[in-house]
Structure 1
């Protein structure tokens, strides 16, 4: 019985062994076949047959940018020995010792990735990096790492170490769209690779670790630290002497940037590139062959670039404003038609690489229309009277807040229409207070002008929030479209290498301002008569033959000058100033720095056939104007009443003994008549309950007293109120 069991067991084991052997043989056969196929199918590592991603204007006719290898291939013999040594020190000191992979580096990377909980560290050799850059995506996954290791081993079998190193140095990303050491040397230093100095070699070799971080154009401090690290590694590896190390360490970064002739609309193009990288992370854009149709109007972009440069030079001489930016948008779709982020992308003296249209800055009075929109939503009419008089808006006696208007003048009683059109600060603060601070903040968040909770106080209306020009233009688009704010985009369509549509921009719009409120704002901002007093008639805020709404703004200490103007089919925003926040001359505040550029660009744009045909078709609609029969809200601010005057002094009095009663002028501040909780209702029973009342009343009465000889009737006022104020 036992013998039979042993025989049966042996047969079973033999059968299992046969199956396992067969399976193993099949697996090894398939694996070897796969490896053989992979080896045979590897392309020549000096030739990249893949197509770059091409970015076009909105017509698809003008190539404005190319994402792909911009490289000049050189042979292994042409690559300087010092360049090879530098990259080995920086990236893979055991390059000539290993067979394509570094077990020690892989183990270290695995341990760090386990600690981090994500595949952040690669432990890649130069050969692995080459394999990844040529044949794999940039997405960090464990599957990609396995493929990378296999390909690295194959590359080591097929090519010599010098060939691999040369291929690496010919294909690696050196930032700013440059691939390969020769192309990088030409771009950054205007030299060939064999003409580079030690410190220049170290700088370039340090970039590929993280091109966007170690770019000497964008982050010179980090690039310098990385360069010095490479020099130190070269010293430690014995490739340079102590004297060479010290000498190179003392040298500053001195670039000689060579422009790429076919780079167009660089700030705009880089935003498109960023969108592609963020939305298609699994696609290697450099070899994907995508065709990207953007929203850019090429002709308008070229004109805008010309004018930004022209006026930046003029403003530099006249007003010490060295830089400018311009952005144009279709308010219906949010398509960005023009984006000029600075006078010159490559001008380091003005931080030209910084895209000012996407940089948050205080926006001055250009924020006012959106605050007034909340005011109008509460039912206040545009002919309401506000007093532009010196006013302390602080309820803390130790910290007075008595703002000036930009021209240091006070105009007395003016309409709300004039207040917005002339951008009067004092009355605009009153508008903010009457509209309600919390309601205004809610509106600005809805418009996506502010995101963070911050106590701006009443200075909010002076434009203290930091806002990007693109967001400001988008908010003005809501006015241009009578209340609808669009999403925005730099891209219309994207096609793959086979011509298939893989992305199409679908504009999204949301209602953020009531239709008639937007019409009221449009009517005011396009009213040239309402601007008179601050601006001359027919100033450059006007485009002859067109109804254009426009708002200017200047920030504190004249650091920034803004102009945003629009029609129902186009919004144009302009900024002028200095990237380092250096103040301009005050003579250039607002109008002189930004308006001429805005005017010339918009005039040129509207003269083009595609816009001329809209001249009599798309216009601003007239608003429905509500008239309120209530003091101040009806446009009346001085009232005739029978009041007591002392018989002896002939002064106003509240004492009814020994008085004469006369017809007199009575004037009160806004809060005497308006209950903020019910602005169209009856006056407040006790205006003193409003914390701002005494301050506003004092300002108005002091102004009235200074003008009392100009009234036809004697001025009556509460003498006890005046006395109490003088004691405070």
Structure 2
């Protein structure tokens, strides 16, 4: 027996030695595969893309992993204690691995045959979350243990806990405690109550199973368990424990992360997101980029309001279309309010249910989805009464309609406009976009009409034509005949007309531009040549495919986006330089490290990084003067209500009124407004650029120019003023009207009047 026991002992020693040998070999193999925990000091937590205006207003957040990293010193102590109580109460005592926890897990495995408890410490969870896969294997567990021990030698306990609290997944795309506090409670960490802290601390074990949104009953049990553990560990006293248990669940989904979205500019957000994705790929959603745009929040709000108001004005001119639904008025109010929720707000409008309408059609009582009852008076119904009285009279209790607040704050009958509009505003000195509205409502149409839509610019192209004419030696006093013209092509004929349908005879170029005379433009293009006009347009940034090689180009039959027109009119607003519009000022990481800083070419002579000059100063001065005339006495005279002397621009209306534009500026600010249907449906008779688009521009500029001093371009050398005969454009010794000229292009004096000379002049004009 003694020999047997000695032999057995020797075998055990040999087996133990072999086991230790193999264990050591396996340890060395696994040790060689482990990453360096030192890299955790420089880890970049996955955080979403954030987009801001230039004045710090949050526009949008892109990325499923909602995370707001916080330093451990910013975490309230009771919240730390709640997580320790729930996950690892001996965290500050063990060396990264807790033997007690591992023994409990082993015993559970032996007792039940199932791995119900992992025995993982917070350190082990950090090791797994940052470096290892989630697979449940013994090898991964050994790696987790080894890595946790190694981490504790490199990092402090607080550093490990900070990584854990920022990395842990807590459900509903919330990663880290700060994001979870916002998602579930709409609060910062400091604002959380003790029961709310316990609720968050209970989530890591099973974020979906113990979720207060999807399973409140089970979540409450888990919360109460965490509170009990906090009480047992002495983190809270008896009164705190009892009071916390009595508190109801208060969690609800809060979609935005703190800070909440502060500026509604979805078309800008999507444009920026798309630009970044083309450059960086999918990492933009996790790399924590912060994009500072060139947007001015005050101007953006003004632009959005102006576009929506302008489209409602157009829509109201063309009649009321009636109800958009019906809810049984006999249902309980709670059910009717719930049904109204299906009619989501759109643009400036909200849904409402008709409660009563008086027989005279002068008052309408409606119920809003908020539960508030309001009355629309005669003024709020007047437009529908005037344009569509029959449809207004057909409204019945229970019908779902739309209402909005007008500029005075009064409630008004409304409908979602079918027409679309857009506005782009730039600083012409650099091309920085200050406001961008790509449509009535992004949720209804994500098509960004400022950059994606190619429409005919109409008469908005004529300033390029006139620039080419001045460069060719013509003047603002050059006379071109406004008379019928016919272009024949086989069996087809093109007979262009002025919008008025009238012909005005000999017309000076200044008058032709301010009154947008089509026939003068066509004759002007023919005189200076199509090639010259196209070359000039290319200098302004147009592409060849946008410019048809036909006489109709004089009337803007090519294509352009608001982005293109913003570039064109920036040249007139900045003194003759071609700038490129841009939207991103800089891209930085969350820690403030700048990745990209915009360095736009600027409109200046002789400065660093100067934009190319494409119009010489004297031609620019003459063109600016002519564009000012469009506002002072031409098609945009309505803009004079702004009471400024530095306004200039050009209306644009295309064939059959399919597009309405106003392209204008008050140096250095440019704004381009457009109205039209996406499918090219005509806007209707009278819906010109001056009628449909100019009011939007005025509403925007009223805000944008408030407090800005007027700017006057200095008169360059080589520009002179001479008096001319307004009929012939020739200088006169007698009383005439003043006109500006380049000194080398001064017209001759008008000869003494005679019938023969007048006839000769008339023949030249024709």
TM band (smaller chain): 0.5 to 0.7
Aligned: 1:593 with 2:692: yes
Counterpart position of 1:440: 533
CA distance in structure 2 between the aligned counterparts of 1:541 and 1:451, rounded to whole angstroms: 36
Normalised to the residue count of structure 2, the TM-score between the two structures is 0.53
On the 8 A contact 1:364/1:553 being kept in 2, the answer is yes
Give the alignment of 1:536-551 within 5 angstroms: 538-540=637-639, 543-551=642-650
From 369, 376, 379, the counterpart of 2:470: 376
Equivalent residue number for residue 52 of structure 2: 56
> For residues 410 and 457 of structure 1, what CA distance do their matches in structure 2 show?
22
Q: Which sections of structure 1, spanning at least 5 residues, go unmatched? A: 1-25, 73-133, 137-146, 160-166, 173-181, 183-191, 195-257, 643-661, 674-696, 701-728
- Mapping of residues 248-327 of structure 1, within 5 Å: 262=261, 264-281=264-281, 284-319=283-318, 322-327=419-424
Task: Please give the alpha-carbon distance, in whole angstroms, between the structure 2 residues aligned to 1:309 and 1:155.
Answer: 59
* Residue 56 to residue 27, structure 1, CA distance change in 2 (3 Å): farther
Q: Distance in 2 between matches of 1:273 and 1:529?
A: 38
Tell me the equivalent position of 1:339: 436
Say if 2:400 is the partner of 1:401. Answer: no
Shift in Å, 1:276? 1.8
Does the 8 Å contact 1:50/1:287 carry over to 2? Answer: yes
Question: In 2, distance between residues paired with 1:428 and 1:598?
Answer: 25
CA apart distance, 1:622 = 4.0
Kindly indicate whether residue 480 of structure 2 is the aligned counterpart of residue 386 of structure 1: yes
1:65 match: 60
Aligned position for 1:483: 576
Query: Is the 8 Å Cα contact of residues 325 and 357 (structure 1) preserved in structure 2?
Result: no
Q: Is 2:671 the counterpart of 1:572?
A: yes
Residue 31 of structure 1, CA deviation: 7.1
Pick one of 643, 652, 655 that aligns with 1:556.
655
Whole-Å separation in 1 of the counterparts to 2:28 and 2:581: 51
Q: CA deviation at 1:586?
A: 1.5
How far does residue 34 in structure 1 lie from its aligned partner after superposition?
5.4
Q: Cα 1:529–1:452, aligned 2, differ >3 Å: closer, same or farther?
A: closer
User: 1:504 is matched with which residue?
Assistant: 597
| Distance change in 2, residues 1:502/1:395 (3 Å) | same
* Cα offset, 1:355, TM superposition: 3.4
- Rounded to whole Å, the distance in 2 between the matches of 1:356 and 1:460 is 22
Cα distance in 1, alignment partners of residues 269 and 137 from structure 2: 35
Assess if the C-alpha contact under 8 Å between 1:380 and 1:633 holds in 2: no
In 1, distance between residues paired with 2:565 and 2:580?
Answer: 13
- Written as runs of structure 1 = structure 2, the 5 A alignment for 1:632-643 is 634=730
Residues 286, 640 of structure 1: alpha-carbon distance in 2 compared, 3 angstrom cutoff: same
Specify whether residues 289 and 388 from structure 1 end up closer, same or farther in structure 2 by C-alpha distance, changes over 3 A only.
Answer: same
Map of 1:603 onto structure 2: 702
Q: Aligned-pair distance for 1:308?
A: 1.1
**Structure 2 CA distance for aligned equivalents of residues 484 and 328 of structure 1:** 17
Question: Structure 1, residues 678-728: CA drift from partner, whole Å, max 9, x if none?
Answer: xxxxxxxxxxxxxxxxxxx8xx4xxxxxxxxxxxxxxxxxxxxxxxxxxxx
How far off is 1:266 after superposition?
0.6
Separation of aligned partners in 1, 2:521 and 2:29: 77
For the residue of structure 1 that corresponds to 2:575, the secondary structure is coil
Post-superposition Cα deviations, 1:377-396, rounded to whole Å, max 9, x if no partner, equal 0110111111111122x264
Structure 1 residue 313: Cα displacement: 1.0
- Distance, in Å, in 2 between the alignment partners of 1:626 and 1:31 is 91
Q: By how many angstroms is 1:559 displaced? A: 1.0
CA distance in 1, matches of 2:674, 2:53: 24
Name 1:427's counterpart in structure 2. 520
Instruction: From the superposition, tell whether residues 524 and 625 of structure 1 become closer, same or farther in structure 2 (CA, over 3 Å).
Output: farther
Write the deviation string for residues 543-570 of structure 1: whole angstroms up to 9, x where unpaired: 3133211100011211110001112211
What is the aligned residue count?
Answer: 461
Listed one character per residue, the Cα deviations across residues 476-531 of structure 1 (whole Å, up to 9, x for unaligned) are: 11111121011221111222233222211111222212221111111011026874
Do the aligned residues in 1 keep the contact of 2:292 with 2:585 (CA within 8 Å)? yes
Aligned to 1:553, the other structure's residue is in SS state strand
Residues 397/135 of structure 1: CA separation in 2 closer, same or farther (3 Å cut):
farther
State how far apart, in whole Å, the 2-side matches of 1:415 and 1:633 are.
7
Q: Cα–Cα, structure 1 residues 468 and 193, in superposed 2: closer, same or farther, change >3 Å?
A: farther
After superposition, residues 210-225 of structure 1 pair within 5 angstroms as none
Select which of 346, 349, 355 maps to 2:449: 355
> Residue 307 of structure 1 contacts residue 601 of structure 1 at CA under 8 Å; is this kept in 2?
yes
Instruction: Please tell me whether the aligned partners of residues 292 and 494 of structure 1 are also in contact (alpha carbons under 8 angstroms).
Output: yes
Q: Secondary structure at the match of 2:493?
A: coil
Cα deviation digits, residues 641-700 of structure 1 (max 9, x gap): 98xxxxxxxxxxxxxxxxxxx86851556xx65xxxxxxxxxxxxxxxxxxxxxxx8xx4
1-structure distance, mates of 2:539, 2:674:
24
Cα distance in 2 for residues equivalent to 1:407 and 1:193: 65
For the 8 Å contact 2:48–2:65, the answer to whether it is kept is no
1:402-438 Cα offsets, whole Å, 9 max, x none, are: 2000111111111110011111000011111122101
Q: Deviations over 1:236-286 (max 9, x none)?
A: xxxxxxxxxxxxxxxxxxxxxx999727201011111122222334x7222
Q: Secondary structure at the match of 2:299?
A: helix
Aligned residue number for residue 414 of structure 1:
507
2:283 is paired with a residue of what secondary structure? Answer: coil
Using the alignment, how far apart are the partners of 1:629 and 1:306 within structure 2? Answer: 45
State the match for 1:37 in structure 2: 35
Unaligned runs of 5+ in 2: 1-23, 68-127, 142-168, 175-183, 185-212, 216-254, 320-417, 602-610, 733-748
Secondary structure, counterpart of 1:527 in structure 2: helix
Does structure 2 conserve the Cα–Cα contact (< 8 Å) formed by 1:417 and 1:530?
no
CA contact (8 A) 1:326 1:357 kept: no
Determine the C-alpha separation between the residues in 2 that align with 1:154 and 1:520. 78
**2-side partners of 1:156 and 1:435: how far apart?**
85
What secondary structure is seen at the aligned counterpart in 2 of 1:586?
A: coil
Task: List per-residue Cα deviations over 1:148-202 (Å, max 9, x = no partner).
Answer: xx9697999869xxxxxxx999769xxxxxxxxx9xxxxxxxxx999xxxxxxxx
1:13-24 matched pairs, under 5 angstroms: none
2:31 match: secondary structure: helix
The aligned counterpart of 1:581 is 680
Q: In 1, Cα distance between the equivalents of 2:631 and 2:657?
A: 26
Q: Secondary structure at the match of 1:440?
A: helix
Summarize the Cα distance change of 1:319–1:373 in structure 2 as closer, same or farther, 3 Å threshold: farther
Larger displacement relative to structure 2 (482-491 or 364-373): 482-491
In 2 relative to 1, CA 135–587 (structure 1 residues): closer, same or farther, beyond 3 Å? farther
CA shift at 1:629, angstroms? 11
